[in-house]
Amino acid sequence: MGEKGRFLSQGNTAEIYEWETDKILKLYRQGLPETLCEDELRMTKNVYELLHIAPKPFEIVHIGNRVGAVYERIQGTTMLKEMLSKPWTFSKYSRLLAQCHINIQKPVEFKLPTVKAKLKRDIKASPLLSNEEKQQIYQYIDTLPDGNKLCHFDFHPGNIMVSNGQYHVIDWMTGCKGDGLSDIARTSIILRYSEIPRAPRFINLISKNVINKIYRGYLKEYLKATGVSIEKIRVWEMPIAAARLREWIPQSEKQTLLTFVKKSISVLPSNSTV
């Protein structure tokens, strides 16, 4: 049995600590249900066995009144930090980000929530949309393609670890399956609209410029490599933006997304078709 070591980093749902010499502990914040931790560990295990690009998962542990999961420690840095510390690598890593996304979009047979079910569940939990607006979005979602491709649903350079020339995709809590283009749309929404919480406005402006360059390079490479039309990605953006409204993101970002969603709803035909 290991022990919690040095604090390494944190996100919205968890803190990361050292665990023994070659592992990390993802310690969920107090109050989050243990099932979230269990589901992510199970999801990571399935992806690890299918693709060998996720950290190897080990066990669930309890620290006081909090629950956590132990994973293999990837010795490296995130793709985002690599890009920001070496601006000349933007083009290289933007292309790699797209190729990495293509590589994980495999058909899956293990049990996962569907993209459509996940979107509807998250939209239902948002207090910023009226019941009528939610019903319109649900009906629109029903017109979109199904599928059984693996979707990460939080895929961005901050969740890609680069180690000895290899990449590892972390944070599989939001994993689901469906039309692979929904996951591309989700990444597009994240890269185009995300803000850094509690950062000064000028920092967000600088970061936005950098992230936009990454986004453009990533999308260009994905479209070129797959031959997919941009329109087939765009059709997913409105419901994905609506679902993101229930997340722990800055209020200014929520307002931007809400404006985008309401404008998109206003131009929906009475009987949406794709």
Q: Give the span between the Cα atoms of 186 and 227, in whole angstroms.
A: 19
Residues 145 and 159 in one domain: yes
pLDDT in tens, 42-69: 999 999 999 999 999 999 999 989 999 9
Examine the domain organization and report whether 139 and 167 are in the same domain.
yes
Residue 180 lies in a domain: yes
Q: What is the DSSP letter of 29?
A: P
Q: Are residues 181 and 245 in the same domain?
A: yes
Q: For residue range 22-37, list pLDDT tens digits in order.
A: 999 999 998 888 999 9
Q: How far apart are CA 168 and CA 149, in angstroms?
A: 19
In-domain check, residue 253: yes
**Looking at the predicted structure, is the pLDDT value of residue 86 above 90?**
no
pLDDT at 194: 82
Alpha-carbon torsion, ordered 34, 37, 38, 41, to 10 deg? -170
Q: Is residue 274 part of a domain?
A: no
| 203 pLDDT tier (thresholds 50, 70, 90) | very low
Q: Are residue 25 and residue 114 in the same domain, yes or no?
A: no
- Which of 49, 72, 95 corresponds to the end of one domain? 72
Q: Do residue 152 and residue 175 come from a single domain?
A: yes
The residue with greater pLDDT, 10 or 71, is: 71
Cβ neighbours of 53 (radius 10 Å): 17
pLDDT at 69: 96
Residues 129 and 226 in one domain: yes
Question: Confidence class of residue 10 from pLDDT cuts 50, 70 and 90?
Answer: confident
Does the residue 264 lie in any domain? Answer: yes
**Helix (H, G, I), strand (E, B), or coil: what is residue 172?**
coil
CATH code at 186?
3.90.1200.10
Strand-strand pairing, 149-151 and 77-78:
unpaired
Query: Is the per-residue pLDDT at 270 higher than 90?
Result: no
Q: What is the dihedral of CA 223, 116, 251, 170, to 10 degrees?
A: -60
- Which percentage of the chain shows pLDDT scores above 70? 92
Q: What angle do CA 185, 189, 192 make, to 5 degrees?
A: 130
Is residue 129 located within the same domain as residue 195?
yes
Q: What is the pLDDT of residue 198?
A: 43
Whole-number pLDDT of residue 83: 86
User: Do 186 and 161 belong to one domain?
Assistant: yes
Cα–Cα distances (Å) from 55 to 15, 70, 83, in that order, read 16, 10, 22
Same domain, 12 and 98: no
Residues 68 and 108 in one domain: no
244 vs 255: CA distance, rounded Å: 11
C-alpha separations of 254 from 95, 152, 240, 267 in Å: 29, 21, 12, 20
Pick the last residue of a domain from 72, 91, 107. Answer: 72
Do 262 and 215 share a structural domain?
A: yes
Q: List the domain range (segments joined by +) for residue 192.
A: 77-268
176/250 same-domain check: yes
- Domain total in the chain: 2
DSSP letters spanning 88-150: GGHHHHHHHHHHHHHHH--B--S---BHHHHHHHHHHT-TTS-HHHHHHHHHHHHTS----EE
202 confidence band (pLDDT: 50, 70, 90) = very low
24 assigned to some structural domain? yes
Specify if 10 maps to a domain.
yes
Domain holding 37: CATH number?
3.30.200.20
In a domain, 273, yes or no: no
